[in-house]
């Protein structure tokens, strides 16, 4: 069949990419993820490797051009770039990440030159996930945005998340798409239909499985959403009013066991506010039997370096320094080129130092917890460090950089995945939203509205035990994918077309 040689498929590829974006928050049309991938896989069935790469690239332009368009807001509205510069950089950003679906398409055809159906049905999903892993874990410190598993938090496939994580669950989504293509265009339909029924049915059953257990009494929590506009946050004349706002909102919730402030809630370095502001506040917290979790930048003098940090005050005192930094936001990769270019177009970004990987867990409410600062909540391996000793997760972030875009909703969706992978409650405190309490099943128990000053309250239960995913991590899934790829590479080059 030569249907995929039609140029109409070229025009459809970017549209399919846009459909993929619609499968994620805030749109949440989950069914569109396998539909979009099925269209893409169908594009790759009978064309050349070069044509498959081109269609993959067009798909990527549609997906990333729509799915991460919020980069423009951060650069133009808050980064100081002009309309032209911000548009150019956003376009280059999308164009770069679009190369990964192109790579997946090229390899899918190149490795299976005789187009064996028995190879093709597994090869495309395997390559898709390995390319997602390359993009999400290795390239530029990892960029896992629009990983397909995040679109399935409310479907039966969500049952696989505590078992297989984001890449294993993503493989099942991609395999669903590949099976659907075989059902539509292949000659053998019974086997793929049976496999789909088993895969989705098993996922539905796993959703009812509980992997962790309660280990203590419920804790009352309050998360302060200060709603400080990003372009006002660091103005020196606003520092005192910002501190007084957080102090006043905190004092209204001394009946909570834990009170959390969002990422860099304090617009000053720790040593500038510690004695006059934080120490007295910590003493008040201790008197009320409350623990404070506060995010504040820390500067050290010997050697001179800065950290994006979280501290605890009250009964428990400690500090966590963010380990997984945001490229082009908290540090500049590809130096000196990136620094030179950004200086030329007048964009000034942070220059933080990563903290040590194996830091002791902070404690609040009588229990240790996993600290995830902003971007860290999109990486499953970061939330796994020390999890066996942790009773819950805390994510402090500031999505004010992205305005009223789809980014805060996408980011919340990714945070929900961490709760599901770990089987623990996740407390998410943000500057402008979306602040939320998330259950171990990834359900949003309580959520604050965007761009409102509010103290979100709720109750969580300390949890213990480990999900299968947290025992194994991503390595077994990626290892199986790599072994499958090697086997399929050998099988695809033998015999006649299937």
- The predicted pLDDT at position 494 comes to 64
With beta carbons less than 8 A apart as the criterion, state whether 419 and 426 touch: yes
With beta carbons less than 8 A apart as the criterion, state whether 433 and 446 touch: no
Which burial class, exposed, middle or buried, applies to 475 when counting CB atoms under 10 A from its CB (0-12, 13-18, 19+)? Answer: exposed
With beta carbons less than 8 A apart as the criterion, state whether 215 and 391 touch: yes
Per-residue pLDDT tens over the stretch 376-430: 999 999 999 999 999 999 999 999 889 999 999 999 999 999 999 999 999 999 9
- The predicted pLDDT at position 275 comes to 96
Higher pLDDT, 16 or 494: 16
Q: From the centroid of its chain, how far is CA 23?
A: 15
Q: From the centroid of its chain, how far is CA 45?
A: 31
| Averaged pLDDT for residues 117-135 | 93
pLDDT at 492 over 90: no
pLDDT bucket at 493, cuts 50 / 70 / 90: low
Q: Which tokens belong to 383? A: 């939330």
Q: Which tokens belong to 191? A: 């086997």
Beta bridge partners of 259: 222, 292
Rounded distance between C-alpha atoms, residue 144 and residue 148, angstroms: 10
Which burial class, exposed, middle or buried, applies to 476 when counting CB atoms under 10 A from its CB (0-12, 13-18, 19+)? Answer: middle
- The predicted pLDDT at position 262 comes to 97
pLDDT at 263 over 80: yes
pLDDT at 24 over 70: yes
- The predicted pLDDT at position 118 comes to 76
Q: Which tokens belong to 65? A: 């051009």
Tell me, letter by letter, the H, E, C secondary structure of 362-424. EEECCEEEEEEEHHHHHCHHHHHCCHHHCCEEEEEECHHHHCCCCHHHHHHHHHHHHHHHHCC
Rounded distance between C-alpha atoms, residue 180 and residue 183, angstroms: 5
**Dihedral sign (CA 36, 38, 39, 45):** positive
What's the number of CA atoms in the CB half-sphere (13 Å) around residue 157?
26
- The predicted pLDDT at position 5 comes to 54
Which single residue is written with the structure tokens 């790759």?
44
State the Cα torsion 400-401-403-408 to the nearest 10°.
-70
With beta carbons less than 8 A apart as the criterion, state whether 396 and 374 touch: yes
Lowest mean pLDDT among 96-105, 114-123, 308-317, 374-383: 114-123
| Averaged pLDDT for residues 236-248 | 94
- The predicted pLDDT at position 311 comes to 98
Question: Among 152, 60, 61, 73, which residue's Cα sits nearest to residue 101?
Answer: 60
The three-class DSSP label of residue 17 is: helix
DSSP per-residue letters across 132-145: HHIIIIIGGG---T
Rounded distance between C-alpha atoms, residue 324 and residue 383, angstroms: 11
Q: Which tokens belong to 291? A: 């623990």
Tally of CB atoms within 10 A around 220: 16
- The predicted pLDDT at position 345 comes to 45
- The predicted pLDDT at position 337 comes to 46
pLDDT at 4 over 80: no
Per-residue pLDDT tens over the stretch 138-166: 998 899 999 999 999 999 999 999 999 99
pLDDT bucket at 332, cuts 50 / 70 / 90: low
With beta carbons less than 8 A apart as the criterion, state whether 448 and 456 touch: yes
With beta carbons less than 8 A apart as the criterion, state whether 191 and 237 touch: no
Q: From the centroid of its chain, how far is CA 205?
A: 26
- The predicted pLDDT at position 389 comes to 97
Cα angle 131, 137, 142; round to 5? 105
- 140 Cβ contact partners less than 8 Å away, ≥ 6 residues apart: 327, 333
Q: Which residues are catalytic?
A: 263, 322, 374
Which burial class, exposed, middle or buried, applies to 190 when counting CB atoms under 10 A from its CB (0-12, 13-18, 19+)? Answer: exposed
Rounded distance between C-alpha atoms, residue 489 and residue 487, angstroms: 5
With beta carbons less than 8 A apart as the criterion, state whether 67 and 21 touch: yes
pLDDT at 344 over 50: no
pLDDT at 82 over 80: yes
- The predicted pLDDT at position 278 comes to 97
Rounded distance between C-alpha atoms, residue 86 and residue 480, angstroms: 41
Q: From the centroid of its chain, how far is CA 342?
A: 25
Per-residue pLDDT tens over the stretch 475-484: 999 999 999 9
pLDDT at 8 over 50: yes
Rounded distance between C-alpha atoms, residue 27 and residue 406, angstroms: 9
With beta carbons less than 8 A apart as the criterion, state whether 25 and 406 touch: yes
Lowest mean pLDDT among 33-42, 350-359, 362-371, 442-451: 350-359
Cα angle 26, 393, 421; round to 5? 65
């Amino acid at each position: 069949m030569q249907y995929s040689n039609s140029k109409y498929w070229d025009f459809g590829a970017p549209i399919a990419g846009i459909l993929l974006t619609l499968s994620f928050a805030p749109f949440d049309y989950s069914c569109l993820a396998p539909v979009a991938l099925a269209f893409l896989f169908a594009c790759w069935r009978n064309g050349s490797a070069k044509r498959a790469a081109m269609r993959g690239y067009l798909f990527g332009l549609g997906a990333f051009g729509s799915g991460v368009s919020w980069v423009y807001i951060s650069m133009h509205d808050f980064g100081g770039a002009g309309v032209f510069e911000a548009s150019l950089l956003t376009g280059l950003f999308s164009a770069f990440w679009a190369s990964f679906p192109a790579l997946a398409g090229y390899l899918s055809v190149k490795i299976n030159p005789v187009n064996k159906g028995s190879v093709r049905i597994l090869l495309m999903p395997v390559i898709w996930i390995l390319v997602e892993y390359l993009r999400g874990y290795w390239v530029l410190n990892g960029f896992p945005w629009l990983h397909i598993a995040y679109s399935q938090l409310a479907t039966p496939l969500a049952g696989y998340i505590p078992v297989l994580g984001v890449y294993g669950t993503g493989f099942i989504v991609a395999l669903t798409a590949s099976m659907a293509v075989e059902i539509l265009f292949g000659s053998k339909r019974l086997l793929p239909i049976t496999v789909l029924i088993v895969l989705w049915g098993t996922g539905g059953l796993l959703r009812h499985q509980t992997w962790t257990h309660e280990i203590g009494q419920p804790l009352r929590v309050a998360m302060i959403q200060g709603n400080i506009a990003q372009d006002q946050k660091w103005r020196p004349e606003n520092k005192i009013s910002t501190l007084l706002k957080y102090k006043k909102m905190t004092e209204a919730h001394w009946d909570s066991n834990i009170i959390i402030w969002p990422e860099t809630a304090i617009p000053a370095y720790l040593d500038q506010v510690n004695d006059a502001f934080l120490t007295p506040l910590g003493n008040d917290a201790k008197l009320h039997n409350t623990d404070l979790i506060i995010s504040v930048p820390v500067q050290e003098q010997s050697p001179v370096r800065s950290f994006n940090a979280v501290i605890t005050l009250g009964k428990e005192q400690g500090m966590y320094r963010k380990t997984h930094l945001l490229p082009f936001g908290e540090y500049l990769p590809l130096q000196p080129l990136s620094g030179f270019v950004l200086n030329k177009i007048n964009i000034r970004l942070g220059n933080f130092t990563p903290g040590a990987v194996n830091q002791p867990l902070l404690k609040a409410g009588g229990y240790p917890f996993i600290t995830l600062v902003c971007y860290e909540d999109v990486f499953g391996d970061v939330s796994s460090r020390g999890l066996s000793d942790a009773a819950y997760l805390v994510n402090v972030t500031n999505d004010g950089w992205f305005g009223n875009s789809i980014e805060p909703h996408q980011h919340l969706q990714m945070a929900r995945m961490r709760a599901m992978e770990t089987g623990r409650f996740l407390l998410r405190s943000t500057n402008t939203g979306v602040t939320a309490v998330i259950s171990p099943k990834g359900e949003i128990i309580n959520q604050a509205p965007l761009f409102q000053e509010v103290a979100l309250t709720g109750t969580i239960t300390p949890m213990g035990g480990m999900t299968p995913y947290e025992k194994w991590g991503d390595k077994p899934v990626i290892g199986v994918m790599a072994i499958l790829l090697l086997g399929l590479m050998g099988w695809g080059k033998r015999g006649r077309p299937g």
